[in-house]
Amino acid sequence: MTRARLATPLLAAVPLAFLGVFFVYPVVSILALGLAPGGNLDIGAALAVLGQPFVLDVIWFTLWQAALSTLLTVLIALPGAYVFARYDFPGRRLISALAFVPFVLPTVVVAAAFLALFGSRSPFGIRLDHTIFAILAAHVFYNYAVVLRVVGGVWGQIDPRLEDAARVLGASRWQAFRRVTLPLLRPAIASAASVVFLFTFTSFGVILLLGGSQFSTLEVEIYRQTAELLNLRTAAVLSLLQMTALVVLLFAYSRYQQRNAIQQRLLTRAQVARRPRTRKERGLVIANLALMAVLLGLPLLILVERSFAGPNGYGLQNFVALFSTSQRSALFVPPIEAIQNSLMFALIATLICAPLGLMAAYVIARGQGRLASGFDALLMLPLGTSAVIVGFGFLVALGNLPFDLHTSVILIPIAHAVVALPFLIRATVPVLRSVDEGLREAARVLGASPTRVWREIDLPIVRRAILIGAGFAFAVSLGEFGATLFIVRPDAPTMPVAIYRLLSQPGVLAFGEAMAMATLLMAVTGASVLVFDRLQVE
Amino acid sequence: MLELVDVRVAYDDTVAVDGVSLTVNETETVALLGPSGSGKSTLLRAMAGLEPLASGRISLNGRDLAAVPVHKRGIGLMFQDYVLFPQRDVRDNVAFGLEMRGDARGSIDSRVDEVLALVGLSGYGSRGATELSGGEQQRVALARALAPTPRLLMLDEPLGALDRVLRTRLLEDLAAMFRELRLPIVYVTHDQEEALAVADRVALMNRGRLDAVASPAQLWSAPPTEFAARFLGFNNIGDFVREGDHAQTEWGSIPVAADAPERGRLLLRPDGVRVDADGTLAGTIRASTFRGDHTHVLVELANHSMLEIDLRGDSPPLDSEVRLAVDPARVNFLS
């Protein structure tokens, strides 16, 4: 066996072992707890849990809020996708990048922003917290960019003359869109809608913070059954239901994608896009940008505004308060320590996740055939669960390991690494695949030794891949909330957990501190994204 | 009958079409010829209603089209590289216009079969639009444009993407079909051969303006402008001053008709120059290219100016000295 052939299984083994211990084992533990409490298989009992009226309510709410959120997001973002695909206007690239900010923000920051906008201290006096409207608005807010990017990307490649052709043949504007463009967009819309549905189906932070006690998705209910009612059995059964639903969704999605590929000549956006010409076109662009400013910009603006607002006017008092432990605080430490914790956890999570992700991505990018695609699918499994289930699984399972991790803070970055790994692999594989074999051959023909070829051609790309992956892992870890909430120690909160605790407290001061902390988390996330972005370019 | 009066199309501070007036008669085929960027495709899109007019008027059969939206104009337009609907098969592509018109299913089916037969694609109905060869796609696009019996047919570079052999054959098919269709037809192309072959009249465009409008024979035998002459591939163009029945040019003194203009620009047609021991011009053969029915020869004259000439039969050997005679009937005066 050559060195290279031995290297691949070794590279594959490490991430597999990691996922085996920290993902598969916890999930199997949930399975055991849900289906066979006490060691004997008891499906009837599990079904009895599901049959309870409150569980049916939770399932129904989870489904309809996700469906409605998806529908609204698609309807609101579709004109934006059109405008960004078809028109060139000053600042287009910058605005397109800014529109992505809500998507990368931690859900806790999103929830905090909408509490600032619609909560008890709303500067407009609009109370929409604890209503479905706040939840839907928040969901549209952070999923807008998904539709904008996915649908806009495809729309920008469709020949605009197809609609012209339809128009000349007697179709009105609407008919031309419905009969010609829409069928070509449908796979992209379905793809974006599936992703939005998945995100809102597993929505946790937004529902927990904005919904109040009357709204519960499966995710939130798993947490409540565990943390508030200590009903691990019910939580386990709900987790199983959640996982089954997600696997079915992902499977249906990939089947649909395979079946609905339409062969067509694709253009580049540069061939398609042009300056708006008529007054109507300019009006459309401006109206859409205004909508984006209100929908995406206003909540964040109000969040920042509230973080500087105190009982005695604007100032830094909320930020100053973060440095001290108030006697009323639900945190046992000065909130500022949460920042330190978050940064440390994010660093450790990155150090765990980046090498694992790179190894896995390398195997996938280089591999061919069934084995490689099977490996690929295996590593995507955490996507088929959710952060909450990862956290719950850790809680259920990891007390039983020979080495006691139960109370160790290292669990948090490990959980973050499990959550981030599939995303990181997805981001890294295309970069690794972008190595052009022709480039390697050209270097060899020009007299470069294999080591030299690796150093000159592969290394810069691998470096790029590592940085992209690391940036991803760092940002995911900073904002991770669902898994962390299950395993966090009261004296070592992360920033999202601190924000959650502060928001759960009554009082003006705690609210101000929560706003300040959310603003800081937004800044730290933004800064880390920027730093890694910079490093990549250099 | 299609009538364009002083049509202007402008956007982003650039004027794409600048004051074009043109009439296309009931059964006439007019070729809009010009280099890329001359505004011919934009003018076509404006006629279809796909580009707004800055000013001017377009009317079809006496009716002003200004207030008529694109889909009510009843125009057949065949796009450059066809733009077939990729998700529909051949039949559904051709049927689209009929569906939009609200035809009954049975009449759609028979009309689709009819036009597919017309373009020689009977039996192709269930083929995917993107599985076809370039020539087949071109014919589907034509069938799609013709199916709803348009009052005006417009084609944008219909043969542009095809290889040379196929183009020559399809060009003949198209010319024959145009004669049968008895429709006003506007044919946009950058290829002078195509324009001369299919059109009853050629409208030459340059930088958004009409440079010349003439029948193919007129245009070829007497290009009215320098731009037209150069676009048709002529290069012996220069200043002249007439003195009696001779004109002084950069090549020397050449015989011209006595009623020719006093001065200006002229074109010395390459087929109007022959090797003749009594000729008035003297020069040296510098290059020659065999072109089948003639030989294209480059001659350096005594004053070092270059002259292109087309000779029947063989060229004298390279670097040999020749004397050249000019046929005064084959000198064109340019405006």
pLDDT per residue over B265-298, tens digit each? 999 999 999 999 888 899 999 999 988 889 999 9
Q: What is the pLDDT of residues B117-175, one digit of tens each?
A: 999 899 999 999 888 988 899 999 999 999 999 999 999 999 887 888 888 888 888 89
Which residues of chain A, if any, have pLDDT below 50? 1-2
Tell which of A154, A169, A266, A277 to mutate to test the B interface (max B CBs under 10 Å): A169
Q: How far apart are the first and last CA of chain B?
A: 30
pLDDT at A1: 41
- Count of CA atoms in the C-beta half-sphere (13 A) of B181: 29
Neighbours of A126 (CB within 10 A): 12
pLDDT over 90 (residue B46): yes
The DSSP H or E segment spanning A244 is helix A232-259
Q: What angle do CA A167, A169, A172 make, to 5 degrees?
A: 35
pLDDT of residue A375: 80
Select from B232, B238, B240 the least CA-distant residue to B212.
B232
Which of B12, B85, B92 should be substituted to probe chain A, the one whose Cβ sees the most A Cβ atoms within 10 Å? B85
pLDDT at B186 over 70: yes
- Looking at the DSSP assignment, which residues form a beta bridge with residue A309? A314
Coil, helix or strand at residue B196: helix
Burial tier of A386 (Cβ tally within 10 Å: 0-12, 13-18, 19+): buried
Q: Please state, in angstroms and rounded to a whole number, the distance separating the CA atoms of residues A181 and A186.
A: 9
Return the residue of A nearest to B71 by Cα. Answer: A170
The residue whose two tokens read 């609407």 is A174
Q: Is B97 on the interface with A (CB under 8 A)?
A: yes
Q: Which of B52, B100, B130 sits opposite A263 (nearest CB)?
A: B130
Compute the distance between CA of residue B301 and CA of residue B79 in angstroms, rounded to an integer: 47
Provide ipTM, 2 decimals.
Answer: 0.88
**Long-range pairs of A432-440 with CB within 8 A, sequence gap ≥ 24:** A432/A361, A432/A362, A432/A365, A432/A366, A432/A461, A432/A462, A432/A465, A433/A365, A434/A461, A435/A461
Question: What burial class does residue A67 get, using C-beta atoms within 10 Å of its C-beta: 0-12 exposed, 13-18 middle, 19+ buried?
Answer: middle
Which of B76, B101, B130 lies nearest to residue A264, judging by beta carbons?
Answer: B130
Rg of the Cα trace of chain B? 24
CB contact under 8 A, A171 and B101: no
pLDDT digits (tens, 9 = 90+) for A137-147: 999 999 999 99
CB B125 within 8 A of CB B89: yes
The enclosing H or E element of A339 equals helix A336-366
Structure tokens at B32: 């809009």
Q: What is the least distance, in Å, from the CA of B144 to any CA of chain A?
A: 8
B77 to chain A: closest CA residue: A168
Burial of A361 (0-12, 13-18, 19+ CB in 10 A): buried
List residues in chain A touching B: CB distance below 8 A. 159, 161-162, 164-172, 175-176, 179-180, 183-184, 262-265, 275, 277-278
Per-residue tokens: A68: 């409605």
Q: Is B76 on the interface with A (CB under 8 A)?
A: yes
pLDDT band, residue B84 (cuts 50/70/90): very high
Chain CA centroid to CA A429, Å: 18
Please tell me the predicted confidence (pLDDT) of residue A538: 54
d(CA B251, CA B282): 9
- Please tell me the distance in Å from B121's CA to the nearest CA on chain A: 20
Chain A nearest C-alpha distance from B103 (Å): 12
**What are φ and ψ of residue A459, in 5° steps?**
-55, -50
Whether B330 and B271 have beta carbons less than 8 Å apart is answered as yes
pLDDT at site A261: 64
- Do the chains contact at A265 and B87, CB–CB below 8 Å? no
Residue A322: Cβ within 10 Å count: 21
How many CB pairs below 8 Å do chains A and B form together? 78
* Interchain contact, B97 vs A169, CB within 8 Å: yes
Angle between helices A298-308 and A107-118 (to 10 degrees): 80
For every residue of A163-221, DSSP letters joined together read HHHHHHTT--HHHHIIIIIHHHHHHHHHHHHHHHHHHHHT--HHHHHHHGGG---HHHH
Question: Do the Cβ atoms of B71 and A172 come within 8 Å?
Answer: yes
What does the pLDDT read at residue A391? 92
A162, A172, A275 member nearest B85 (Cβ): A162
Contacts of B104 (CB under 8 A, 6+ apart): none
State the Cα–Cα distance between residues B217 and B199, nearest whole angstrom.
10
